[in-house]
Amino acid sequence: MIPQRYIEEWKAVAPWSMDAQVEQDLVIARAIVE
């Protein structure tokens, strides 16, 4: 699980409105980079 403050920060620039969507976006981005 990603800390809530990271989700809130990314939510400001992500096109997603729900926290679960923002978190999934961050998880997918991390998987692509790694």
| Domain extent listing, the chain | 4-33
Identify the H or E element spanning 10: helix 4-11
Q: Is 18 exposed, middle or buried (0-12, 13-18, 19+ CB in 10 A)?
A: exposed
pLDDT tens by residue, 2-34: 999 999 999 999 999 999 999 999 999 999 999
- Indicate whether 1 pLDDT > 90: no
pLDDT for residue 7: 95
Could you give phi then psi for residue 16, rounded to 5 degrees? -100, 145
Q: How far apart are CA 25 and CA 14, in angstroms?
A: 8
Could you identify the residue written with the tokens 């923002």? 22
In terms of pTM, does the model score above 0.75?
A: yes
**Two tokens at 33?**
């980079």
